[in-house]
A = this chain, B = another copy of it.
Amino acid sequence: MKKLINSPDTVLADALRGVAAAHPELSVDIENRLVVATEPRENRVAVISGGGTGHEPLHSGFVGPGMLDAACAGEIFTSPTPDQMLAAATRVDAGAGVLFIVKNYTGDVLNFEMAAELAADEGIETASVIVADDVAVEDSTWTAGRRGVGTTVIVEKIAGAAAAEGRTLAEVAAIAERVSKAGRSMGVALTSCTVPAVGHPSFDLPEDEMEVGVGIHGEPGRRRVPLEDARGIAHDIVTAIADDADFTGAPVIALLSGLGATPLIELYVIYADIADALSERGISVARVLVGDYITSLDMAGCSLTLVKADDEILRLWDAPVRTTALRWGL
Protein backbone atom coordinates (compact mmCIF):
# COMPACT_ATOMS: atom_id res chain seq x y z
CA MET A 1 0.00 0.00 0.00
CA LYS A 2 1.51 3.30 -1.13
CA LYS A 3 -0.26 6.33 0.24
CA LEU A 4 0.59 9.85 1.31
CA ILE A 5 -0.37 9.24 4.93
CA ASN A 6 1.27 9.11 8.32
CA SER A 7 -0.61 6.17 9.76
CA PRO A 8 -3.90 4.46 8.95
CA ASP A 9 -5.26 5.61 12.31
CA THR A 10 -4.65 9.29 11.72
CA VAL A 11 -5.81 9.71 8.12
CA LEU A 12 -9.05 11.43 9.02
CA ALA A 13 -7.57 13.72 11.67
CA ASP A 14 -4.61 14.61 9.44
CA ALA A 15 -6.84 15.32 6.45
CA LEU A 16 -9.00 17.62 8.56
CA ARG A 17 -5.87 19.44 9.72
CA GLY A 18 -4.95 19.85 6.07
CA VAL A 19 -8.38 21.23 5.19
CA ALA A 20 -8.07 23.68 8.06
CA ALA A 21 -4.60 24.76 6.96
CA ALA A 22 -5.56 25.15 3.31
CA HIS A 23 -8.93 26.82 3.74
CA PRO A 24 -9.03 29.49 6.41
CA GLU A 25 -12.50 30.47 5.19
CA LEU A 26 -13.82 27.18 6.66
CA SER A 27 -14.10 26.33 10.31
CA VAL A 28 -12.80 22.85 11.05
CA ASP A 29 -13.77 21.18 14.32
CA ILE A 30 -11.18 18.42 14.65
CA GLU A 31 -12.67 17.09 17.89
CA ASN A 32 -16.12 16.56 16.37
CA ARG A 33 -14.75 15.98 12.87
CA LEU A 34 -16.85 18.72 11.32
CA VAL A 35 -16.21 21.16 8.51
CA VAL A 36 -18.44 24.19 8.97
CA ALA A 37 -19.12 27.24 6.84
CA THR A 38 -18.33 30.46 8.62
CA GLU A 39 -20.81 32.77 6.89
CA PRO A 40 -23.70 34.02 9.01
CA ARG A 41 -26.95 32.15 8.42
CA GLU A 42 -29.45 34.68 9.75
CA ASN A 43 -32.56 32.68 10.34
CA ARG A 44 -32.38 30.59 7.19
CA VAL A 45 -32.50 26.81 6.96
CA ALA A 46 -29.15 25.10 7.46
CA VAL A 47 -28.09 22.15 5.32
CA ILE A 48 -25.91 19.37 6.74
CA SER A 49 -24.56 16.26 5.15
CA GLY A 50 -21.97 13.75 6.14
CA GLY A 51 -20.75 10.25 5.66
CA GLY A 52 -17.73 8.06 5.82
CA THR A 53 -14.43 9.57 4.75
CA GLY A 54 -12.77 8.40 1.53
CA HIS A 55 -15.16 9.99 -0.96
CA GLU A 56 -13.56 13.43 -1.12
CA PRO A 57 -14.43 16.08 -2.09
CA LEU A 58 -17.80 14.70 -0.85
CA HIS A 59 -18.84 16.09 1.64
CA SER A 60 -16.35 18.55 3.13
CA GLY A 61 -15.48 19.99 -0.30
CA PHE A 62 -19.06 21.16 -0.66
CA VAL A 63 -19.23 23.26 2.47
CA GLY A 64 -19.67 26.97 1.89
CA PRO A 65 -22.10 29.64 0.76
CA GLY A 66 -24.78 28.24 -1.51
CA MET A 67 -24.28 24.61 -0.57
CA LEU A 68 -23.63 22.85 2.77
CA ASP A 69 -23.48 24.60 6.12
CA ALA A 70 -21.64 21.69 7.66
CA ALA A 71 -20.24 18.28 6.80
CA CYS A 72 -19.77 15.48 9.35
CA ALA A 73 -16.85 13.20 8.59
CA GLY A 74 -16.89 9.58 9.69
CA GLU A 75 -13.93 7.27 9.80
CA ILE A 76 -12.90 5.88 6.44
CA PHE A 77 -15.97 4.27 4.82
CA THR A 78 -17.78 4.41 8.18
CA SER A 79 -20.74 6.68 8.77
CA PRO A 80 -20.29 9.49 11.26
CA THR A 81 -21.98 9.29 14.64
CA PRO A 82 -25.07 10.99 16.06
CA ASP A 83 -23.12 13.15 18.50
CA GLN A 84 -21.14 14.66 15.61
CA MET A 85 -24.32 15.36 13.70
CA LEU A 86 -25.89 16.91 16.77
CA ALA A 87 -22.83 19.09 17.30
CA ALA A 88 -23.09 20.22 13.68
CA ALA A 89 -26.80 20.92 13.96
CA THR A 90 -26.29 22.88 17.15
CA ARG A 91 -23.63 24.98 15.49
CA VAL A 92 -25.44 25.84 12.29
CA ASP A 93 -29.11 25.95 13.27
CA ALA A 94 -30.25 29.54 12.97
CA GLY A 95 -33.73 28.85 14.22
CA ALA A 96 -35.17 27.85 10.86
CA GLY A 97 -34.28 24.19 11.19
CA VAL A 98 -31.77 21.82 9.66
CA LEU A 99 -31.94 19.54 6.65
CA PHE A 100 -29.92 16.33 6.86
CA ILE A 101 -28.83 14.92 3.49
CA VAL A 102 -28.19 11.22 3.98
CA LYS A 103 -26.82 8.60 1.63
CA ASN A 104 -28.82 5.40 1.91
CA TYR A 105 -26.53 3.15 3.91
CA THR A 106 -27.88 1.53 7.06
CA GLY A 107 -25.17 3.14 9.17
CA ASP A 108 -25.77 6.61 7.83
CA VAL A 109 -29.52 6.29 8.04
CA LEU A 110 -29.52 4.97 11.61
CA ASN A 111 -27.01 7.50 12.85
CA PHE A 112 -28.79 10.45 11.26
CA GLU A 113 -32.05 9.09 12.68
CA MET A 114 -30.56 9.08 16.17
CA ALA A 115 -29.16 12.56 15.58
CA ALA A 116 -32.60 13.81 14.60
CA GLU A 117 -34.00 12.41 17.85
CA LEU A 118 -31.24 14.07 19.86
CA ALA A 119 -31.76 17.35 17.98
CA ALA A 120 -35.49 17.22 18.68
CA ASP A 121 -34.65 16.84 22.37
CA GLU A 122 -32.66 20.04 22.10
CA GLY A 123 -35.44 21.85 20.30
CA ILE A 124 -33.81 21.83 16.87
CA GLU A 125 -36.18 21.06 14.07
CA THR A 126 -34.79 18.69 11.44
CA ALA A 127 -35.86 17.06 8.23
CA SER A 128 -33.99 14.39 6.32
CA VAL A 129 -33.69 13.44 2.69
CA ILE A 130 -32.27 10.06 1.81
CA VAL A 131 -30.46 9.60 -1.48
CA ALA A 132 -30.74 6.10 -2.96
CA ASP A 133 -29.79 6.39 -6.60
CA ASP A 134 -27.43 3.54 -7.48
CA VAL A 135 -29.09 1.56 -10.26
CA ALA A 136 -26.53 -1.21 -9.84
CA VAL A 137 -28.58 -2.36 -6.86
CA GLU A 138 -31.89 -4.01 -7.51
CA ASP A 139 -34.60 -2.00 -5.85
CA SER A 140 -36.70 -3.81 -3.30
CA THR A 141 -38.78 -2.83 -0.33
CA TRP A 142 -37.67 -6.03 1.40
CA THR A 143 -34.06 -4.88 1.60
CA ALA A 144 -32.21 -1.72 2.50
CA GLY A 145 -33.05 -0.30 -0.92
CA ARG A 146 -30.44 1.25 -3.17
CA ARG A 147 -27.10 2.74 -2.25
CA GLY A 148 -26.77 6.51 -2.31
CA VAL A 149 -24.08 7.89 -4.59
CA GLY A 150 -23.56 10.77 -7.04
CA THR A 151 -27.00 12.32 -6.87
CA THR A 152 -26.01 13.40 -3.37
CA VAL A 153 -23.75 16.09 -4.84
CA ILE A 154 -26.62 17.52 -6.83
CA VAL A 155 -29.05 17.33 -3.93
CA GLU A 156 -26.52 19.18 -1.76
CA LYS A 157 -26.17 21.95 -4.37
CA ILE A 158 -29.89 22.40 -4.93
CA ALA A 159 -30.78 22.22 -1.25
CA GLY A 160 -28.06 24.75 -0.44
CA ALA A 161 -29.35 27.11 -3.10
CA ALA A 162 -32.94 26.72 -1.92
CA ALA A 163 -31.88 27.40 1.67
CA ALA A 164 -29.95 30.46 0.52
CA GLU A 165 -33.15 31.78 -1.02
CA GLY A 166 -34.76 31.74 2.39
CA ARG A 167 -37.21 28.90 1.81
CA THR A 168 -38.68 27.06 4.78
CA LEU A 169 -37.37 23.73 6.00
CA ALA A 170 -40.34 21.92 4.48
CA GLU A 171 -39.72 23.61 1.15
CA VAL A 172 -36.01 22.90 1.14
CA ALA A 173 -36.66 19.28 2.09
CA ALA A 174 -39.28 19.00 -0.63
CA ILE A 175 -37.05 20.13 -3.45
CA ALA A 176 -34.15 18.05 -2.12
CA GLU A 177 -36.47 15.06 -2.14
CA ARG A 178 -37.56 15.86 -5.68
CA VAL A 179 -33.95 16.01 -6.90
CA SER A 180 -33.08 12.86 -5.02
CA LYS A 181 -35.94 10.99 -6.68
CA ALA A 182 -34.97 12.35 -10.09
CA GLY A 183 -31.37 11.06 -9.93
CA ARG A 184 -29.80 7.78 -11.00
CA SER A 185 -26.15 6.72 -10.94
CA MET A 186 -23.85 3.86 -11.77
CA GLY A 187 -20.12 3.31 -11.44
CA VAL A 188 -17.49 1.08 -12.98
CA ALA A 189 -14.23 0.09 -11.28
CA LEU A 190 -11.05 -0.77 -13.12
CA THR A 191 -9.14 -1.35 -9.88
CA SER A 192 -10.02 -1.86 -6.24
CA CYS A 193 -9.50 0.72 -3.55
CA THR A 194 -7.27 0.01 -0.57
CA VAL A 195 -8.57 0.96 2.87
CA PRO A 196 -5.56 2.28 4.82
CA ALA A 197 -6.36 0.26 7.94
CA VAL A 198 -6.66 -2.89 5.83
CA GLY A 199 -3.50 -2.33 3.82
CA HIS A 200 -4.39 -4.39 0.78
CA PRO A 201 -7.00 -3.99 -1.98
CA SER A 202 -10.59 -4.64 -0.89
CA PHE A 203 -11.14 -6.97 -3.82
CA ASP A 204 -9.15 -8.68 -6.54
CA LEU A 205 -9.77 -7.44 -10.02
CA PRO A 206 -7.67 -9.19 -12.66
CA GLU A 207 -5.81 -7.06 -15.19
CA ASP A 208 -8.38 -7.84 -17.89
CA GLU A 209 -11.60 -7.44 -15.94
CA MET A 210 -13.73 -4.65 -14.54
CA GLU A 211 -16.53 -4.44 -11.99
CA VAL A 212 -19.71 -2.92 -13.42
CA GLY A 213 -21.92 -1.27 -10.86
CA VAL A 214 -19.28 -1.11 -8.13
CA GLY A 215 -20.23 0.64 -4.90
CA ILE A 216 -18.32 3.63 -3.58
CA HIS A 217 -16.92 1.50 -0.76
CA GLY A 218 -15.74 -1.15 -3.15
CA GLU A 219 -18.96 -3.13 -2.82
CA PRO A 220 -19.39 -5.63 -5.64
CA GLY A 221 -21.65 -4.46 -8.42
CA ARG A 222 -23.88 -6.05 -10.99
CA ARG A 223 -21.27 -8.16 -12.67
CA ARG A 224 -17.60 -8.78 -13.27
CA VAL A 225 -16.90 -8.60 -17.00
CA PRO A 226 -13.91 -8.46 -19.35
CA LEU A 227 -12.39 -5.00 -19.57
CA GLU A 228 -14.06 -2.89 -22.23
CA ASP A 229 -12.97 0.24 -24.03
CA ALA A 230 -14.36 3.64 -23.09
CA ARG A 231 -17.14 3.41 -25.65
CA GLY A 232 -18.28 0.06 -24.32
CA ILE A 233 -18.22 1.22 -20.73
CA ALA A 234 -20.10 4.41 -21.65
CA HIS A 235 -22.72 2.31 -23.36
CA ASP A 236 -23.09 -0.01 -20.35
CA ILE A 237 -23.51 2.82 -17.87
CA VAL A 238 -25.86 4.90 -19.96
CA THR A 239 -27.98 1.87 -20.75
CA ALA A 240 -28.23 0.84 -17.11
CA ILE A 241 -29.24 4.34 -16.03
CA ALA A 242 -31.56 5.18 -18.88
CA ASP A 243 -33.32 1.82 -18.67
CA ASP A 244 -34.06 2.51 -15.04
CA ALA A 245 -35.76 5.87 -15.49
CA ASP A 246 -36.89 8.06 -18.33
CA PHE A 247 -34.50 10.97 -18.86
CA THR A 248 -35.98 12.27 -22.09
CA GLY A 249 -38.15 15.31 -22.45
CA ALA A 250 -36.47 17.44 -19.82
CA PRO A 251 -33.09 19.08 -19.29
CA VAL A 252 -30.65 16.76 -17.54
CA ILE A 253 -27.80 17.54 -15.14
CA ALA A 254 -24.95 15.10 -15.75
CA LEU A 255 -22.14 14.42 -13.31
CA LEU A 256 -19.22 12.26 -14.39
CA SER A 257 -16.99 11.58 -11.42
CA GLY A 258 -13.65 9.88 -11.21
CA LEU A 259 -13.32 7.33 -8.42
CA GLY A 260 -10.08 8.76 -7.01
CA ALA A 261 -7.25 7.39 -9.12
CA THR A 262 -8.55 8.18 -12.58
CA PRO A 263 -6.82 11.01 -14.41
CA LEU A 264 -8.99 13.81 -15.79
CA ILE A 265 -7.97 13.02 -19.36
CA GLU A 266 -9.60 9.59 -19.11
CA LEU A 267 -12.77 11.16 -17.77
CA TYR A 268 -12.93 13.41 -20.81
CA VAL A 269 -12.27 10.48 -23.12
CA ILE A 270 -15.21 8.54 -21.74
CA TYR A 271 -17.37 11.64 -21.45
CA ALA A 272 -17.16 11.98 -25.22
CA ASP A 273 -18.65 8.50 -25.55
CA ILE A 274 -21.20 9.12 -22.82
CA ALA A 275 -22.35 12.27 -24.60
CA ASP A 276 -22.80 10.24 -27.79
CA ALA A 277 -24.70 7.51 -25.98
CA LEU A 278 -26.97 10.04 -24.30
CA SER A 279 -27.77 11.89 -27.47
CA GLU A 280 -28.51 8.61 -29.26
CA ARG A 281 -31.17 8.00 -26.63
CA GLY A 282 -32.57 11.50 -27.03
CA ILE A 283 -31.37 12.63 -23.63
CA SER A 284 -30.43 16.26 -23.64
CA VAL A 285 -27.80 17.38 -21.17
CA ALA A 286 -28.22 20.93 -19.90
CA ARG A 287 -25.42 21.06 -17.30
CA VAL A 288 -22.29 18.92 -16.92
CA LEU A 289 -19.60 18.35 -14.33
CA VAL A 290 -16.56 16.24 -15.18
CA GLY A 291 -14.01 15.62 -12.46
CA ASP A 292 -13.60 14.05 -9.02
CA TYR A 293 -16.74 14.72 -7.01
CA ILE A 294 -17.57 11.45 -5.28
CA THR A 295 -14.67 9.06 -5.02
CA SER A 296 -13.66 5.78 -3.44
CA LEU A 297 -10.19 6.35 -2.04
CA ASP A 298 -7.72 5.24 -4.74
CA MET A 299 -10.08 3.30 -6.94
CA ALA A 300 -9.68 3.70 -10.71
CA GLY A 301 -12.87 4.06 -12.69
CA CYS A 302 -15.79 6.44 -12.91
CA SER A 303 -19.42 6.91 -12.09
CA LEU A 304 -22.13 8.71 -14.00
CA THR A 305 -25.08 10.47 -12.42
CA LEU A 306 -28.04 11.88 -14.28
CA VAL A 307 -30.69 14.06 -12.70
CA LYS A 308 -33.82 14.96 -14.59
CA ALA A 309 -34.20 18.68 -14.00
CA ASP A 310 -36.61 21.47 -14.78
CA ASP A 311 -36.36 25.23 -14.91
CA GLU A 312 -36.49 25.60 -11.16
CA ILE A 313 -33.81 23.00 -10.53
CA LEU A 314 -31.58 24.50 -13.23
CA ARG A 315 -32.00 27.93 -11.74
CA LEU A 316 -30.99 26.65 -8.31
CA TRP A 317 -28.11 24.73 -9.90
CA ASP A 318 -26.86 27.93 -11.51
CA ALA A 319 -27.15 29.94 -8.30
CA PRO A 320 -23.83 31.15 -6.89
CA VAL A 321 -21.81 28.69 -4.84
CA ARG A 322 -18.46 29.00 -3.13
CA THR A 323 -17.00 25.77 -1.84
CA THR A 324 -13.57 24.28 -2.33
CA ALA A 325 -14.80 21.76 -4.89
CA LEU A 326 -17.67 23.58 -6.59
CA ARG A 327 -17.59 27.27 -7.18
CA TRP A 328 -19.20 29.75 -9.47
CA GLY A 329 -20.64 33.21 -9.37
CA LEU A 330 -18.75 34.04 -6.17
Contact = CB atoms under 8 A, between A and B. Distances in A.
Contacts of A53: 265
Nearest to A15: B268
A269 B15 contact: yes
Contacts of A288: 21-23
B22 A271 contact: yes
A271 B261 CA distance: 18
A267 interface: yes
Interface stretch (A116-124, A134-142, A149-157, A229-237): A229-237
A170 interface: no
Interface residues of A, number: 62
A260 B261 CA distance: 7
A221 to B, nearest CB: 16
A91 interface: no
A14 B261 contact: no
A73 B125 CA distance: 53
Contacts of A329: 330
B265 A297 contact: yes
A18 interface: yes
Interface stretch (A39-47, A54-62, A98-106, A308-316): A54-62
Interface in A285-329: 288, 290, 292, 295, 297-298, 300-302, 322, 324, 327-329
Contacts of A327: 327-328
